[in-house]
């Protein structure tokens, strides 16, 4: 770029400052072309105004250069702040439906990392899609220019859990009055904690459960569909014809479990498979 010549004896100092402020690169190039000569000839001679102007330029030029370089870097390199915000917004949307009062911490991207400005939207891939709390990893990438970056987010908050309102005996069927939902800090929640009441009611306790205990998957077993010594429906097939008779379950049974039953009419004991509540199929 061809620089303009400046007559420092006729130019207004306000115009020089305005040029530096509004067009830092062009203004500085123009000034520096003539500044050394002007400085040497006017710092120790010339009018008081020229000496003041020379000293002033000597003072502000380094800062103006730094400002120009800073603007240039911002336009050339991808903003770390924008990448961190992209991850933050994604995480917030991901966890809002699962956590109460979420706290999201994005590991800062090093200011020394210089990534070219992406010419299209930056791609974001969730490397831990099943996690809604704790440590998460995200892959940021760009196709043009080609670069990849991994960012870590740490999320804390309160998660819903199901707790027992009183002691529950082993093998007992859990009722709505036995449990309630509560929120606890993520780090206090047990692994595989139950989160929804509807998924616990009707299940059987696999072990004795104390009061105020967080219910987990390993504490539960499928509910009985057939109960010992209770009336049942015995289903058999004669070809394509379905035949139903009354009977008695000799053992309790869960879905698809084989149990002994007694035909109420013939008193004959048979083995059948539980297929529905109070219903057993005898092949």
Q: Please report the pLDDT score of residue 111 as a whole number.
A: 82
Burial class (CB in 10 A: 0-12, 13-18, 19+), 149: middle
Confidence band, pLDDT 50/70/90 cuts, at residue 225: very high
Exposed e or buried b for every residue in 180-206, given b needs 16+ CB within 10 A? eeeeeebeebeeebbeeeeebbebbbe
Exposed e or buried b for every residue in 8-30, given b needs 16+ CB within 10 A? beeeeeeebeebbeeebeebbeb
CA angle 123, 74, 105 (to 5 degrees): 55
Mean pLDDT estimate for the chain: 83
> Of all helices (H) and strands (E), which one includes residue 204?
strand 204-205
**Would you call 16 helix, strand, or coil by DSSP?**
helix
CA 271 to chain centre: 51
pTM of this structure: 0.55
Contact (CB, 8 A) for 105 and 172 = no
Structure tokens at 267: 């008193």
Query: How does pLDDT run across 80-139, given as a tens digit for each residue?
Result: 999 999 999 999 999 998 899 999 999 999 988 899 999 999 999 999 999 989 999 999
Query: How does pLDDT run across 5-31, given as a tens digit for each residue?
Result: 445 455 555 555 555 555 554 444 445
Question: Does position 39 have pLDDT exceeding 50, yes or no?
Answer: no
Q: Please report the pLDDT score of residue 14 as a whole number.
A: 55
HSE of 45, CA atoms in CB hemisphere, 13 A: 4
Instruction: Compare 187 and 39 and report the one with higher pLDDT.
Output: 187
Average pLDDT rounded to a whole number, residues 235-246: 93
Confidence band, pLDDT 50/70/90 cuts, at residue 45: low
Q: Please report the pLDDT score of residue 190 as a whole number.
A: 87
Q: Please report the pLDDT score of residue 46 as a whole number.
A: 55
Rounded Cα–Cα distance for residues 100 and 98 (Å): 7
């Amino acid at each position: 770029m061809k620089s303009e010549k400046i007559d420092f004896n006729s130019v207004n100092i306000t115009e020089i400052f305005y040029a530096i402020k509004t067009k830092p690169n062009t203004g500085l190039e123009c000034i520096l072309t003539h500044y050394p000569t002007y400085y040497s000839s006017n710092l120790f001679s010339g009018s008081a105004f020229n000496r003041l102007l020379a000293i002033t330029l000597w003072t502000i030029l380094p800062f103006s250069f730094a400002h120009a370089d800073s603007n240039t870097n911002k336009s050339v390199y991808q903003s770390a702040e924008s990448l961190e915000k992209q991850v933050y917004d994604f995480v917030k949307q991901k966890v809002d439906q699962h956590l109460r009062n979420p706290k999201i911490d994005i590991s800062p991207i090093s200011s020394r990392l210089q990534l070219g400005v992406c010419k299209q939207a930056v791609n974001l891939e969730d490397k831990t899609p099943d996690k809604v709390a704790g440590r998460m990893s995200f892959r940021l990438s760009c196709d043009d220019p080609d670069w990849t970056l991994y960012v870590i987010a740490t999320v804390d908050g309160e998660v819903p859990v199901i707790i027992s309102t009183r002691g529950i005996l082993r093998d007992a069927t859990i009722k709505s009055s036995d449990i309630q939902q509560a929120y606890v800090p993520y780090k206090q929640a047990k692994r595989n904690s139950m989160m929804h009441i509807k998924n616990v009611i009707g299940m059987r306790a696999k072990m004795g459960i104390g009061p105020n205990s967080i219910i987990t998957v390993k504490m539960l077993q499928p509910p009985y569909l057939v109960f010992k010594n209770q009336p049942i429906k015995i289903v058999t097939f004669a070809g394509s014809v379905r035949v139903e008779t009354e009977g008695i379950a000799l053992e309790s049974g869960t879905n698809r479990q084989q149990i002994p039953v007694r035909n109420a009419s013939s008193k004959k004991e048979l083995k059948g498979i539980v297929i529905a509540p109070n219903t057993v199929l005898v092949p």
